[in-house]
C-alpha cells in the first residue's frame, strides 16, 4: 500500500498562518490554518489551495493599517499613569453603582425613564466603539430591516 508523502507548506502565505493538523488513518493531515493576527481559523485542506488564505491575509493587513491610523482612547489613572481604554459593561456597571452610593441617591433613581434612556445610550455607544466597519455596517443594515417592517 503506497502512502502519499506529506508536502511542506511552500506558499509564502504560511508565514502568516499556523497549520493545524488532524490525524487521519495514522497520517497527519493539514486541515485548518490559524491567522497570526486575528486568530481566525480557516480551512486548509491540501486540495483547497491558498487563495482564500491570501484574501484573508490581505484583509488582515488592511484592518491592521486601519487600526494603526485610528486614534485610541486613553485612560488617565489616579497614579498619573496612562493606558489604552476599552469599554467594559462590567466596569460601567460598577462605576454607576459607586456613583449612586457616593451621591446617596434613592434606589428608585434607577427606575426613572431618563436614567433608562441614558443607560441604554451608553451601552449602545460602548458597543459601537468596539465594532469594526464591517460589523457596524451589518448592525446598521439589520436595524434598517427591522425599522422598515
- Distance between CA atoms of 31 and 35, rounded to whole angstroms? 14
Please report whether residue 55 resides in a domain.
yes
User: Grid cell 460589523 — which residue?
Assistant: 135
Please report whether residue 77 resides in a domain.
no
Give this prediction's pTM.
Answer: 0.41
The DSSP symbol for 104 reads T
pLDDT tens per residue across span 62-93: 777 766 665 567 777 888 888 877 767 777 77
User: Grid cell 490525524 — which residue?
Assistant: 23
Tell me, yes or no, whether 18 and 57 share the same domain: yes
Please report whether residue 103 resides in a domain.
yes
pLDDT tens per residue across span 114-129: 777 777 776 666 666 6
Please give the residue range of the domain that contains residue 54. 12-69
Amino acid at each position: 500500500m503506497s502512502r502519499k508523502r506529506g508536502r511542506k507548506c511552500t506558499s509564502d502565505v504560511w508565514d502568516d498562518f499556523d497549520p493545524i493538523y488532524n490525524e487521519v488513518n495514522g497520517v497527519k493531515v493539514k486541515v485548518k490554518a490559524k491567522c497570526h493576527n486575528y486568530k481566525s481559523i480557516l480551512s486548509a485542506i491540501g486540495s483547497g489551495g491558498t487563495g482564500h488564505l491570501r484574501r484573508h491575509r490581505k484583509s488582515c493587513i488592511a484592518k491592521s493599517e486601519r487600526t494603526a491610523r485610528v486614534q485610541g482612547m486613553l485612560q488617565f489613572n489616579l497614579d498619573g499613569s496612562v493606558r489604552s481604554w476599552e469599554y467594559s459593561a462590567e466596569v460601567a456597571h460598577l462605576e454607576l453603582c459607586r456613583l449612586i452610593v457616593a451621591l446617596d441617591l434613592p434606589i428608585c433613581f434607577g427606575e426613572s425613564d431618563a436614567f433608562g434612556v441614558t443607560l441604554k445610550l451608553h451601552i449602545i455607544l460602548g458597543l459601537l466603539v468596539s465594532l469594526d466597519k464591517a460589523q457596524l455596517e451589518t448592525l446598521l443594515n439589520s436595524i434598517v430591516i427591522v425599522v422598515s417592517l
